[in-house]
Amino acid sequence: MCDNNKSVIIIGGGLVGALCACFLAKRGYHIEVYEVREDLRKCKLQRGRSINLALSHRGRRALRTVGLEEEVLKHAIPMKGRLLHNLPHELSSVPYDEQTNQCIYSVSRNLLNEVLLTAAEEYDNVTLTFSCKLVDANLKEGSCVIQNLKTNETIKAKADLIIGADGAYSKLRSQMQKLPLFQYSQTYIEHGYLELSISSKNGHMMIPNHLHIWPRGEFMMIALPNKDGSWTVTLFMALTRFKMLTGREELLKFFESTFPDAIELIGEEDLVEQFFSSPPSHLISIKCYPYHFENRALIIGDAAHAMVPFYGQGMNCGFQDCTLLDQLISQFDGNFDYVLQEFSERRKDDAFAICDLAMYNYKEMRDLVTKPSFRLRKALDNVLYSLFPKYWIPLYNSVSFSEIRYTECLKNREMQNWMITLSLIFLMLMGLSIIVISSWK
């Protein structure tokens, strides 16, 4: 039987760490969460990574399991498709799911984190400690050294299991990297991102309930809605190109030629001010394996599989880690020897697949969406999906609106590509035969 007296230390009270605390607290485990930042519910909004995120099926499923889906969706805005801003001045809507009208949801990162921290704190068996940083860990003995950044004190904490949900630059993972046979690779892409904003005063000029995209081939801009009527705009572009925009004049010239409608939406003065107020951020993709050490330590979320943000799956995938961990704890009656081993086995290929898919989707969003061949394929996918909803699920739908394993989503796509190629060859041969037969007659 599952031993509920087990203790777990979670490093990181971000999205995945806070959700994981809720999952494990439900089981009666004793949870201590250490978060390096101050409690975000008590401090002013911090600028940093994306202000809002796209929540989709995998994330919703995890939230539902801990009873938080409804609460989160109350504060979220449905986005039923992409709204393309093409040059010179053409708008076109591309729904995500014409068959069943499923949508993704724009949700504030801070609000989501607040909901999760508050929900975790409501359990008597959860302690949240802020301004506390993991500085060292002894994986063999299941202990870690935590530094309180306010008092500068360090304490040694011990638990049956240590979970690293401490993000892409995970300290716990860096300890695992020292172990033999730990595989690790990281890629910084040459493109970075910068966040801008369309104020709530101008927000009404945007067509609602869409994820807006300005696809420009080598780069793109996107915008997601916020609950107060404003929109968070993110410009993704080569870092070298960012560097070339050194002053007001270059910036406005660049926007006039590439995103002319965005100048009015953001406002000329706001655009200049926002653009030069902080440098662009980098984007990293990380693959590693295994995610556990014996029955003592596990990494989840970005600590295990940071990805570029173009599929909107980083958080969703991290939330799915929590669902999987929970399922495995049930399956193996809480025996961490099996749970952790199986977690690594089950998650590896899927995590690698979604990291690759996220890279691919940048090309799709910034470039392919404007190509007639892409639109034709999308139309064909829609027809086949409506005819065979169980057998022909388009890639985007399987990733965003199902729990099909990411590896299966990729395999399905390859199989669909094969079937389309074979059908085209068949049709060409048929056409040729008709021409040959009719000329012979």
Ligand X SMILES: Cc1cc2nc3c(=O)[nH]c(=O)nc-3n(C[C@H](O)[C@H](O)[C@H](O)COP(=O)(O)OP(=O)(O)OC[C@H]3O[C@@H](n4cnc5c(N)ncnc54)[C@H](O)[C@@H]3O)c2cc1C
- List contacts with ligand X (CB under 6 A): 11-17, 34-37, 49-50, 53-54, 133-134, 165-167, 171, 193, 234, 301-303, 309, 312-316, 318
Asked whether the beta carbons of 72 and 252 are under 8 A apart, the reply is no
Q: How far is the CB of 380 from ligand X (least distance, A)?
A: 27
Q: How far is the CB of 193 from ligand X (least distance, A)?
A: 5
Nearer to ligand X, 11 or 334 (CB): 11
Nearer to ligand X, 266 or 416 (CB): 266
Give the number of other Cβ atoms within 10 Å of residue 302's Cβ: 26
Q: How far is the CB of 427 from ligand X (least distance, A)?
A: 39
End-to-end CA distance of the chain: 79
Q: How far is the CB of 402 from ligand X (least distance, A)?
A: 15
Q: How far is the CB of 167 from ligand X (least distance, A)?
A: 3
Nearer to ligand X, 362 or 392 (CB): 362
Q: How far is the CB of 305 from ligand X (least distance, A)?
A: 9
Q: How far is the CB of 133 from ligand X (least distance, A)?
A: 4
Nearer to ligand X, 108 or 341 (CB): 108
Strand partners, 77: 106
Helix, strand and coil in the chain, % to nearest 5:
45, 25, 30
Give the number of other Cβ atoms within 10 Å of residue 360's Cβ: 16
Strand partners, 298: 163, 292
Nearer to ligand X, 166 or 350 (CB): 166
Q: How far is the CB of 231 from ligand X (least distance, A)?
A: 14
Which ranges of 78-170 does DSSP label H, i.e. alpha helix? 109-121
Q: How far is the CB of 37 from ligand X (least distance, A)?
A: 5
Nearer to ligand X, 6 or 305 (CB): 305
Residue 154: alpha-carbon gap to chain centroid? 33
Nearer to ligand X, 385 or 401 (CB): 401
Nearer to ligand X, 142 or 312 (CB): 312
SS (H, E, C) 105-119: EEEEHHHHHHHHHHH
Nearer to ligand X, 117 or 334 (CB): 117
Nearest to 60 by CA among 29, 105, 18: 105
Element (H, E) at 64: helix 57-65
Integer Cα distance of 1 and 149 in angstroms: 39
Angle, CA of 119, 123 and 127, to the nearest 5°: 95
Integer Cα distance of 61 and 313 in angstroms: 13
Integer Cα distance of 239 and 281 in angstroms: 9
Asked whether the beta carbons of 326 and 23 are under 8 A apart, the reply is yes
Q: How far is the CB of 111 from ligand X (least distance, A)?
A: 14
Strand partners, 233: 196, 223
Asked whether the beta carbons of 290 and 346 are under 8 A apart, the reply is no
For residue 28, give every residue at least 6 positions away whose Cβ sits within 8 Å of its Cβ, in sequence order, or none.
4, 5, 125
Q: How far is the CB of 50 from ligand X (least distance, A)?
A: 3
Nearer to ligand X, 290 or 318 (CB): 318
User: For residue 164, what are its two tokens?
Assistant: 């690293």
Nearer to ligand X, 265 or 351 (CB): 351
User: For residue 289, what are its two tokens?
Assistant: 């394996």
Integer Cα distance of 11 and 387 in angstroms: 47
Any idea which residue has 């860990």 for tokens? 137
Integer Cα distance of 114 and 15 in angstroms: 9
